[in-house]
């Protein structure tokens, strides 16, 4: 009789010994506002997000090896929230995804590589420069131009869904250079509590001022030398190659400033402690994340 009781107790407690599973559902959206009108200071340059070990949502084999299963839309629980965002004039949903994963710590939990929104690769280079601003020179003379002529950024006027990458073989560095409107990584893990690490870049076209930096001093010296040559030739004195060039009294050269378009990233980098079943919200002035983690079977 005692043995039967022990067997019954073991059978009842067996699920607690099994590895827990969690369903993670995420909505990513942007605010429909002009980034230049946001009263927040944004870095002019950002260090690339570390994509090391991140898994593409289309890499079925890699996801399976990490214990990740992409869930169909029929198992979504946040459709009401997504539809409200879609109908609201102030927001644009970029992605709505869900997956199932195991109970793992930060070192072992899967990192998911996320891309969504518009593809800017036809308009911009990976460093954000507009392709129309870096066209190949049309004549041979321009090939000898100093590389600094491209310009130096001095100000940025904005200071005051696609779900995954179709190329599963790209490495972490190539992924971080993708030119989708939204690019980044999400990780959900368990460390006594549930945690979310979100590192996402929202890219938006912007404008900036650039100084066209031709080697001004060299051009001034050459111009003054040419004047001296003409003067010496006219007087019959010949050319004094060792003559000193006085540039202190020359007319002040004004800066040649050009306004150009570029692709600027706005980063959301946050960590959030969560409770199973609760809906959590993370955001910055331009980008928002809604997430719910549900324990399977609860």
Find residue 283's DSSP bridge partners. 288
Least confident segment among 1-10, 15-24, 65-74, 126-135: 1-10
What is the sign of the dihedral through the CA atoms of 22, 25, 28 and 29?
A: negative
In this predicted structure, the answer to whether residue 115 has a pLDDT above a threshold of 60 is: yes
For tokens 């998911």, the residue is 112
The secondary structure of residue 137, as a DSSP letter, is P
Quick one: DSSP state of residue 133?
Answer: G
As a whole number of angstroms, the distance between CA 28 and CA 181 comes to 12
* 182-217 tens-digit pLDDT: 999 999 999 999 999 999 999 998 876 666 555 545
Domain boundaries, the chain: 19-132+159-205+263-295
Q: How confident is the model at residue 129 (pLDDT cuts 50, 70, 90)?
A: confident
Mean pLDDT of 99-118: 95
pLDDT at residue 260 tops 50: yes
Range of lowest pLDDT (8-17, 102-111, 141-150, 221-230): 141-150
C-alpha angle 191-192-198 in degrees, rounded to nearest 5: 40
Q: Are 209 and 257 in contact (CB under 8 A)?
A: yes
| Average pLDDT score over residue span 257-270 | 84
Q: What is the mean pLDDT of the chain?
A: 76
Tens of pLDDT along 6-21? 555 555 444 444 589 9
pTM for the model: 0.68
β-sheet bridge partners, residue 112: 55, 186
Q: How confident is the model at residue 254 (pLDDT cuts 50, 70, 90)?
A: low
pLDDT at residue number 176: 44
170 pLDDT higher than 90: no
Q: State the pLDDT at residue 101.
A: 97
Mean pLDDT of 260-277: 92
């Amino acid at each position: 009789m005692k043995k039967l009781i022990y067997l019954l107790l073991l059978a009842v407690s067996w699920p607690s010994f099994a590895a827990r599973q969690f369903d993670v559902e995420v909505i990513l959206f942007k605010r429909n506002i002009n980034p230049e009108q946001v009263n927040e200071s944004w870095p002019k340059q950002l260090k690339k997000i570390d994509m090391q070990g991140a898994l593409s949502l289309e890499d079925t084999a890699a996801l399976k090896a990490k214990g990740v299963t992409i869930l169909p839309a029929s198992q979504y629980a946040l459709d009401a929230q997504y539809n409200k965002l879609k109908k609201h004039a102030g927001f644009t949903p970029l992605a709505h995804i869900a997956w199932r994963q195991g109970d793992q710590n930060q070192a072992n939990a899967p990192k998911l590589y996320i891309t969504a929104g518009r593809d800017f690769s036809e308009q911009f280079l990976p460093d954000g420069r507009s392709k129309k601003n870096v066209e190949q020179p049309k004549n041979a003379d321009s090939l000898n131009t100093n590389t600094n002529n491209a310009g130096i950024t001095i100000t940025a006027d904005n200071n005051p869904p696609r779900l995954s990458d179709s190329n599963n073989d790209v490495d972490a560095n190539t992924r971080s250079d993708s030119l989708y409107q939204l690019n980044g990584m999400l990780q959900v893990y368990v460390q006594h509590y549930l945690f979310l690490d979100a590192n996402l870049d929202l890219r938006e076209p912007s404008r900036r001022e650039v100084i066209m930096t031709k080697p001004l001093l060299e051009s001034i010296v050459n111009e003054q030398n040419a004047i001296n040559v003409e003067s010496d030739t006219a007087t019959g004195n010949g050319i004094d190659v060792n003559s000193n060039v006085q540039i202190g009294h020359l007319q002040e050269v004004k800066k040649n400033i050009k306004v150009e378009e570029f692709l600027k990233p706005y980063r959301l980098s946050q960590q959030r402690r969560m409770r199973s079943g609760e809906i959590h919200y993370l955001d910055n002035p331009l980008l928002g994340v809604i997430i719910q983690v549900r324990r399977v079977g609860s």
